Amino acid sequence: MYDFTYAKPASLADAAKALGADAEAKALAGGMTFIPVLKQRLNKPSTVVDLSALGLNYIKLEGGKLMIGAMTPHGSVAASADVKKAIPALAELAGNIGDRQVRYRGTIGGSLANNDPSACYPSAVLALGATIKTNERSIATDDYFQGMFTTALNPGEIITEVQFPIPEKAAYAKFANPASRYAMVGVFVAKTAGGVRVAVTGAGQNGVFRHAAFEAALAKSFTPDALNGIATPVGDMNADIHGSAAYRAHLVGVMAKRAVAAAK
Amino acid sequence: MPQISLTVNGKPASATVEARTLLVELLRDKLHLTGTHVGCDTSQCGACTVQVDGMSVKSCTMLAVQADGANVLTIEGLVNADGSLHPMQAMFREYHALQCGYCTPGMVMSAIDLVETHPEGLSEEQIRHGLEGNLCRCTGYHNIVKAIAAAWPLMHNKALPVAAE
Ligand SMILES: Cc1cc2nc3c(=O)[nH]c(=O)nc-3n(C[C@H](O)[C@H](O)[C@H](O)COP(=O)(O)OP(=O)(O)OC[C@H]3O[C@@H](n4cnc5c(N)ncnc54)[C@H](O)[C@@H]3O)c2cc1C
Ligand code: FES
Ligand code: FES
């Protein structure tokens, strides 16, 4: 690892200043992605700005919305009575990210800022139509994800909170890579007041995406059988040593049906 | 260079580290606590698991500076003052839950946290799910799972509830 300067600001304003003043400064959340990247010398930050002292580790259920602070670790989301009550699918998703050690440290903000094409949270945020709050603005989820490892965040912009509207029912079904637990394919379905939304992670060449054909079919009938015969275009799928594009396209349908069957 | 102080196995420790020093490097190279192992480069194997403020974490994926002020427990801190083993260590020995022993310190640290955070009981499935962050290339896990189930009653001073069918 290259050396760097370490800073642990005590206020959001100071953190924004430290990140804004220097294009080579980078934020550190749980470090579950960032520290392995640093170990491989794939990144050479001048300053690492630790976000852990900004008071962003909280969960609130207020005014029909679930608010999760950016620094809230996956394990806390999984265990939260508020999350289990409002959006049980989200608690379950968080409880199956990586392993227990990863869940103690990895955060929702870090996962969304990173936007790994196999990460779990992006599918929940997209399917639930959540809003991503930063130190600069609020970003609607449909504008946020812009391809793998790419988001609408400006350089130095800090995610502070994610706001979830409460769905009628929802579920996440993941086919996990057995070694890393990342999604080979993960499908999050949500039946909301505004309609049905289906988001797919792990499968697409451009990261998380909404599945319009599935959404249309499920809007007519929210049942697994409604998805019979609807193919997912193989050309849009990612292929790697873990699975071919055709394999992933097939899995998208299987996982979507499982999620619809499990939705509550 | 950052100066940090923390508590390691109940004793105060302080060190001057580089910002890039990993917690596991601090423990092994500076504090000479070599029971904590490094088994991978990818944050997957869990051989480096220690407890930081009661939570099991991968010390290869945390900076030493992030542990400033924290309470760190390693495998060396488990043994009782009279030299007797922690119940989890004793059950790993009893149930032959190790072969080469490389994964063992991380397994034991992770298992203790798993048992401590499940006072209501712990099913075999929960134990297996709870060990996803710890890889063992020797044992096939069965005896590790048995050892953890056997340590639960000793750590909670009551019988392990049998899961309702
Ligand atoms: C063994 C292992 C298994 C895993 N399995 C899964 C899995 O099954 N599913 C899954 O979804 N993920 C998985 N992960 C990833 C894990 O969820 C990470 O926690 C997550 O991807 C990154 O979150 P972090 O808090 O660790 O962020 P960090 O690693 O600290 O940061 C990641 C990136 O985001 C930036 N960043 C962090 N916080 C903010 C913020 N608030 N505002 C702006 N930028 C920010 C950082 O600068 C960095 O570039 C796994 C990781 C490991 C090591
Ligand atoms: S050494 Fe493998 S997870 Fe830390
Ligand atoms: S006993 Fe050899 S790796 Fe587990």
The CATH number covering residue B130 comes to 1.10.150.120
Distance from chain centroid for Cα A151: 12
From the CA of B101, give the closest atom in ligand 3: 1
Cα–Cα distance, A106 to A109 (Å, whole number): 9
Q: Tokens 């600001």, residue?
A: A9
Cα–Cα distance, B34 to A170 (Å, whole number): 47
Instruction: For domain A5-50, give the fold.
Output: 3.30.43
End position of a domain, from candidates B38, B55, B76? B76
**Are B57 and B94 contained in the same domain?**
no
CATH code for the domain in which residue B40 is found: 3.10.20.30
Total domain count, chain B: 2
Question: Could you report the per-residue pLDDT of B82-116, keeping only the tens digit for each?
Answer: 999 999 999 999 999 999 999 999 999 999 999 99
B100: nearest Cα among B37, B23, B28: B37
Pocket test for ligand 3, best of B109, B134, B138, B142 (most atoms within 8 A of CB): B138
Q: Tokens 């449909």, residue?
A: A142
Asked if A181 has any chain B CB less than 8 Å from its own CB, the reply is: yes
Q: What are phi and psi of B39, to 5 degrees?
A: -115, -5
Q: What is the pLDDT along chain A (264 residues), one digit of tens a residue?
A: 999 999 999 999 999 999 998 999 999 999 999 999 999 999 999 999 999 999 999 999 999 999 999 999 999 999 999 999 999 999 999 999 999 999 999 999 999 999 999 999 999 999 999 999 999 999 999 999 999 999 999 999 999 999 999 999 999 999 999 888 899 999 999 999 889 999 999 999 999 999 999 999 999 999 999 999 999 999 999 999 999 999 999 999 999 999 999 999
**Are B70 and B13 contained in the same domain?**
yes
Q: Could you tell me the two tokens for B156?
A: 């909670």
**Are B16 and B51 contained in the same domain?**
yes
The total of other beta-carbon atoms located within 10 Å of residue B33's CB is 21
**Are B100 and B52 contained in the same domain?**
no
Strand partners, A172: A188
User: What number does CATH give the domain A59-262?
Assistant: 3.30.465.10
Does residue B53 fall inside a structural domain? yes
Whats the size of chain B, residue-wise?
Answer: 165
Does residue B101 fall inside a structural domain? yes
Q: What are phi and psi of B127, to 5 degrees?
A: -65, -45
Domain ranges of chain A: 5-50, 59-262
| A28 vs B contacts (CB less than 8 Å) | 63
Strand partners, A9: none
**Are B14 and B56 contained in the same domain?**
yes
Does residue B162 fall inside a structural domain? no
**Are B128 and B65 contained in the same domain?**
no
**Residue nearest ligand 3's atom 2 by CA:** B100
| B132 vs A contacts (CB less than 8 Å) | 98-100, 181
For strands A5-7 and A65-69, give the pairing. Answer: unpaired
Structural domain range at position B7: 3-76
